């Protein structure tokens, strides 16, 4: 038992027996391909690893605003070209939605937007989030009124396209473990998945998500569980999104080996879809948390060849599909072209297509 929350409800650790994936990466003349082989060997976590406490407490009904930094390659490029990035001048933090406070809900939002030459913000859109619209609306409303010192190139103001900002909504004293109900639902989901009862497993996920109370710890576990379901159903695009959300935290709420495994799988998926810059950023995160070096040693040579590939190839071709959200791609060049477009698109902002 991990204790009780402020209302006396039981909090429980979340032990997890998970598959361990093997990885084989190949560099061919046609570009980079990744092949993965699943090796299912359940691993039990020792009791000492089953409870992970949040280490940071934040004032009541307040939130932390965390900037998403430029990739190291981009930072190096700015120093060489006389580019000075935009700097915040005036910004009011988003208001914590009252309904979320009352229901004890936590979440996060990643926004992307353009900073104009006057320092104002336009074209704000939700790039990703924990999936709760009330947090998305609060974040967009706040960021739309922010002001910046505009970016400058050789002293001349320039627009900053696709500036990214992450906003995390966290309550003071937020629980660092799951409620007993969430633990039971997760255990039932695991049994359904082991029996390959995908219909019942999907229903379990829906019931878990429908709970009014929701903290960041449970959010990470939910997306990890969902990624396993999507792996079993073969929905690779949805699985990549779930993996990305499972590790979208400044703290690792998942057990260390599961967290490292999720990053490794995410790296492979980014390679598979041609998102090479995202893959390299994921590899950098993997290096930071893989203290034993087992996973990074396996991928280090491949990541080096990805970097070489980005330098050697003049044109990178990437396929994208517009869904309910905008489709975006992390540009590794200073120019791009849209080709073989089918259907309608309203606009394109710095590599992001809006349907």
> What is the C-alpha separation between 126 and 132, in angstroms, rounded?
11
**332 φ/ψ angles, rounded to the nearest 5 degrees:** -115, 5
Residues 6+ apart with CB under 8 A from 87: 148, 149
The encoded tokens of residue 283 equal 């590899």
* Burial degree of 260 (CB within 10 A; 0-12, 13-18, 19+): buried
46 Cβ partners below 8 Å, 6+ apart? Answer: none
- Residue pair 162/349 in contact (Cβ under 8 Å)? The answer is yes
The domains found in the chain, sorted by start residue, are 3-55+175-312 (1.25.40.10), 63-169 (3.30.2420.10), 314-355 (no CATH)
pLDDT for 321: 61
pLDDT of res. 223: 94
pLDDT (0 to 100) of residue 293: 79
Locate tokens 């690779």: which residue? 236
Identify the segments of the chain with pLDDT beneath 50.
Answer: 1, 16-77, 350-351, 353-355
Position 201 scores a pLDDT of 97
Contact 318, 275 (CB under 8 A): yes
d(CA 193, CA 190): 5
Give the per-residue pLDDT at 39. 21
89 close to 148: Cβ distance less than 8 angstroms: yes
The torsion angles phi and psi of 278, rounded to 5 degrees, stand at -65, -40
What pLDDT score does 37 carry? 27
pLDDT at residue number 104: 87
At 293-331, the pLDDT tens digits run 777 887 888 888 888 888 877 666 666 666 665 556 566
Closest CA to 222 of 265, 179, 278: 179
From CA 228, how far away is CA 246, in angstroms rounded? Answer: 11
Q: How long, in residues, is the chain?
A: 355
- Residue 334 has a pLDDT of 59
Give the pLDDT of residue 38: 25
């Amino acid at each position: 038992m991990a204790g009780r929350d402020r209302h006396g409800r039981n909090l429980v650790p979340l032990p997890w027996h998970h598959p361990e994936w093997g990885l084989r990466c190949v560099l061919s003349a046609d570009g980079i391909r990744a092949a993965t082989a699943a090796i299912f060997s359940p691993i039990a976590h020792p009791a000492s690893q089953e409870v992970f406490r949040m280490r940071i407490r934040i004032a009541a009904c307040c939130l932390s605003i965390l900037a998403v930094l430029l990739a190291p390659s981009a930072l190096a490029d700015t120093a060489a070209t006389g580019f000075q990035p935009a700097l915040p001048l005036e910004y009011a933090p988003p208001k914590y939605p009252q309904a979320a406070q009352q229901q004890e809900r936590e979440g996060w939002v990643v926004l992307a937007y353009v900073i104009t030459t006057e320092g104002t913000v336009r074209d704000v859109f939700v790039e990703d989030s924990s999936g709760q619209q009330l947090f998305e609306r609060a974040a967009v409303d706040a960021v739309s009124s922010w002001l910046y010192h505009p970016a400058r190139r050789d002293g001349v103001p320039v627009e900053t396209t696709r500036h990214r900002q992450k906003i995390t909504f966290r309550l003071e004293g937020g629980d660092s473990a799951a409620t007993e109900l969430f633990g039971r639902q997760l255990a039932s989901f695991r049994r359904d998945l082991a029996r390959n009862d995908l219909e019942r497993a999907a229903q379990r996920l829906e019931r878990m998500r429908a709970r009014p109370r929701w903290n960041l710890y449970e959010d990470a576990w939910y997306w990890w569980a969902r990624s396993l379901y999507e792996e079993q159903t073969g929905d690779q695009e949805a699985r990549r999104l779930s993996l990305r959300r499972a590790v979208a935290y400044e703290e690792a709420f998942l057990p260390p080996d599961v967290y490292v495994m999720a990053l490794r799988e995410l790296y492979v998926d980014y390679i598979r879809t041609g998102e090479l810059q995202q893959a390299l950023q994921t590899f950098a995160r993997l290096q930071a948390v893989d203290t034993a070096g087992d996973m990074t040693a396996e991928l280090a040579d491949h990541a080096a060849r990805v970097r070489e590939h980005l330098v050697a190839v003049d044109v990178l071709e990437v396929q994208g599909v517009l869904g309910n959200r905008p489709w975006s791609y992390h540009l590794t060049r200073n120019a791009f072209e849209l080709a073989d477009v089918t259907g309608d698109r309203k606009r394109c902002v710095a590599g992001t297509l809006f349907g």
